[in-house]
A and B are shown apart, each in its own frame.
Chain A
C-alpha cells in the first residue's frame, strides 16, 4: 500500500469527514456568490438593494431575468472558484482510487479511476434526479394539504418538513452504501450493494440516528432558507438570527454525529497494517477481512 493509502488509513476518519463537510460548505458558499453578485449588481442603485427584487410580486426580478443581464466579470470569477472547488472536492476520491490501482500501472489506473468516478457521478446524478422528483412529488402531493392549514405560517412548514424527512434519509442510506462501495473498490453495483447493506446492519441504531440527523439537517437548510426569506420580506433581524442560529446548531450536531458514525464504519471496513491486501482483485478478500474485524464486536 502506498504512502497516501497509509495516510488515508492512519488519518482519523472523522477528521476527513469533517474536512469534507467543511469543503462542501465552502463550496456552497462560493456557489452562493454567483446569485449574490448578480442580485447586488442588478439592484445597486435601489435604496433597498436586493430587496427590490421581490417587491410588487417580483416585477424587477422578472425584468432582470428576462433581460438576461448578468454582471459577467464577478459572475465569472465566482463561477471559476466554484469549479475549482468542485474539482478539489473530487481529488480525495480520485486519489484514493488512483492509489488503490497504482500497482497495475498508471494508465490503467487512470482509466479505471475515471471510469469509476464517472459511474459514481452518474449514480450521484441519478440520485439527484430521483431526489428532485421525490421532492417535487411531495411538494405537489402535499401542497394542497399544506395549503389547507390557514392562519399560521409555521405549521405548513413543520408538516412539510415531516413529510420531507424520509426522502433525504433514504438517500443518505444510499449515499453511505455508495461510499462504502467506493472504499471497497468493487466493480458492479447491485451485488455489492447488498454487501454494504450487511455492513451497516449491525449499526442499525447509529444508522437511524445518522440518517435522521441527515434528514433533519437538510430540512434545516431549507428551513434556514425559508426563515431567511421571511426575514427578507419581514425585514426582521431577530427572525433571521434565530433561523440562522438554529441552522448552524443543527449543522454542528449533525456534523459530529456523521463524523462519529462514519469514522466507526470506515475503521471497520478498512483493514489495518498487516492485513491481507484486500482492496483490489476480484476476490472477496476485502469484504472477508472487514467482516473478520467486526465479528468479535
Chain B
C-alpha cells in the first residue's frame, strides 16, 4: 500500500541532510555503482500454491488464470464527485471447496462517518489526515447472480462483528458455488468520493478514484476469503483478473487509468474512454481538468505522466526515474509484464492522493521546490511506487497480513535501485555528504524492535510510527543486513522469490525458504527470527588486555565480546594495536559472551565489533568499540563547526 509516502521520503531526505550538516563535514563519495550484472534465472525456490516451484521462463500476463474479472462502466459527476457505475464481475471458484458465501469489499465506506474502522484509527506518526472534510461511500443498487437470477445484496449489511463499519461485507449465496464453477454478478452502484484524506478522493476538480467499486475479496485455496475492513495501514489483497472499464467524464477532463487505452470517443460533451488490462488485481483512475501530459517509452512499455501545470520539471524527473527503474527492477526481479505505466502527480491540494500504487498506475507528488532539491525525493518516491509494481502488483502478497512483504520488500528494492542508479548516497544528492540510504533506514527503526514483530499484520501495529519504523525501516534493515553479512544472499534470494511467485500470492515463509535456498540455514534462521520473533542483537566489547610474551617477541591477550539478544549473526572483530596495526577475526553466529584471542607485535589498543557496520541490525552501534587509549579532542569537528558558525554570524551581521 501507501508510500512511505512523499512525507516519509522527504523526511528521510531531510533527516539525512540534517544529520550530515550537523558536522558540516564532507566527503566525495561519488561514483555510481553500476547496474547489477545479469544473473541466471533461479532454478530453486520456495513453493506457492499459485506459482510454480521453479521457473525456467517468466510467466507472462497472458498465462495467468483470471479469478475475479470486472467489466464496468463508470460515469463521473465532477461536481458532485459521484461515480455511477454498473457492470459485471466474472468470478471463478478456483478453490478446492464449494463456496456458500462471498466477501465483498466496499472500501469507500471507510469514509462515510467517523466510527468506521479506518476513522477510528489514527495516523500517529504516519501519513494521512485524520479528518475527512467530505464523507464518501458506496451504495450498492444491485448485486445479482445472473445464472441464478438471484439478488444477493441485503440491506444493512456490515462488516463481520462491527456494525459501525460497512467495508467488508459477507454475501450469502442461495446455493454453493462448486469448485471451478464460474458465476457472473451483475451490479450497479453509486460511489461518492470523499475529500482526499488518504489515498483516494477529490480535491476541487481533481479526482483520484481508488477502491471505488465493489470488489470481491481474495479467495484462498482452502475456500476461505482473505477479507478485512479498510484500515489505515492496509487495503490490498485480491485475485488476479481481467479488467475492462469504460469511464466517461466531462469533455475538458483528462483521464489516467490502470491498463491500456483501447477506445476513446466523445458523446454529448462527455469524453468516453475505455481502458483494459489483463492479469491485474485492482483498477484505479484519475480525472482532472488541470492535467498536463508527458510521455516516454522504455522498451515495450509506454509511459505517461499526468501532472499539474508548472510541475513539468517534476514530471521529467519522475519519467526519467521510472524509465531507469523499469530497466533496473525488470532485470533484477523479472520483466515488467504490462505495456503501460501511468504516473499521476496530484496537485498540491490533493497531496495525500500521492505516493500510492495501483496496477500499472502510480501516484507521486511533491512541490516544485522538491523537483529542484538536491535530495532525490521525487526519484525516490517514483522508484518506490514503481517497485510496488513488483512487490504488490506482480508478487501479490497479502498486505494486510504481511505488510513486510509489500512495503518492506519495496523499501529494500527502492534502496537497491537508488544505489544502483544514483550511487550509494544517491538519496541525498549533495556531493560531499556521504549519507547512505542504509544508514537512514537503520536510523528509522532503532528502538522499535521490541514493539511488534515485523511480520505482524497491519492492524496489530499500535501506531503509525511503529508501522513505519518496523514495516519500512526494520524490514529493509533486516534484508540489507543479510546482504552485507552473507554476501548478497538476500539480493539473490529476492530475485528468485520475485520470479518464482510472479503472479502469485506468497507468504513470509516463502521468503524465508528463498533465503534458505540461496544461503542455507543460518541466514534463513536469522531472517525468520528477525521477522517473526522480534529478534534483535547488540554486540559490545566488554574488555581488552594484552601483555608481553615471555620470549619478548610480541604481545598476547584477549578481548571479551558480549552478544546480547536472540539474533545470531556472524560478527567481525577488529583489534588494533598501539602502532595502529589492525587484525580481524570472525565470530561464528551465536549468542552470549565470548573471548577472542589477541596476538600482535604491539599491545592491543582498541577493539571494534563489526568495523564495517555490516550488521545494521545491531541495536546500538555506539558501544561497538572499546579502547584503552580513548581518542582526544575532536578538533576537526570543532574547526568545522566554528567556521560554519562564523559564516552564519558573518551572514547575519556582516
User: A residues engaging B (CB < 8 A)?
Assistant: 24-25, 27-29, 31-40, 42-67, 69, 124, 127-128, 131, 139-141, 143-144, 146-147, 153, 156, 168, 171-172, 175-176, 211, 214, 217-218, 221-222, 224-226, 228-234, 244, 247
Contacts and interface: CB of A to CB of B under 8 A. Distances in A.
A46 to B, nearest CB: 4
A229 B430 CA distance: 13
Interface in B428-457: 429-432, 434-440, 442-443, 446-447
A40 B61 CA distance: 58
Interface string B218-237: 00000000000000000000
B642 A58 contact: no
Contacts of A35: 22-23, 637-638, 641
B652 A127 contact: yes
A132 B24 CA distance: 16
Contacts of B437: 57
26 contacts: A24-B653, A28-B645, A31-B645, A35-B23, A36-B633, A36-B635, A40-B632, A42-B622, A47-B608, A53-B23, A56-B612, A58-B436, A58-B439, A60-B624, A65-B22, A66-B447, A143-B372, A143-B374, A144-B372, A214-B654, A221-B646, A230-B27, A232-B26, A233-B25, A233-B434, A247-B643
Interface residues of B, number: 74
Given A46-B606, A214-B654, A54 B27 contact: yes
A86 B620 CA distance: 36
Given A31-B645, A128-B652, A229-B25, A58 B634 contact: no
A172 B25 contact: no
Contacts of A124: 652-653
B425 interface: yes
Interface string B621-654: 1101111001111111111111111111111111
Interface of B: 15-16, 19-20, 22-29, 369, 372-374, 424-425, 429-432, 434-440, 442-443, 446-447, 576, 580, 582, 605-606, 608, 612-613, 616, 620-622, 624-627, 630-654
Contacts of B605: 47
B641 A31 contact: yes
A28 B639 CA distance: 10
Contacts, number: 253
A56 B644 contact: no
Contacts of B643: 28, 32, 221-222, 224-225, 228, 247
A175 B447 CA distance: 46
A24 B24 CA distance: 20
Contacts of B15: 62
A63 B434 contact: no
A36 B606 CA distance: 22
Given A127-B652, A143-B429, A54 B23 contact: yes
A interface: dominant SS: helix
Contacts of B440: 62
Contact of A228 (B374, B621, B627, B640): B640
Given A39-B637, A57-B425, A230 B606 contact: no
Contact of A143 (B26, B28, B430, B436): B430
B373 A45 contact: no
A55 B613 contact: yes
Nearest to A151: B30
A141 B621 CA distance: 36
A225 B434 contact: no
A29 B19 contact: no
A40 B642 contact: no
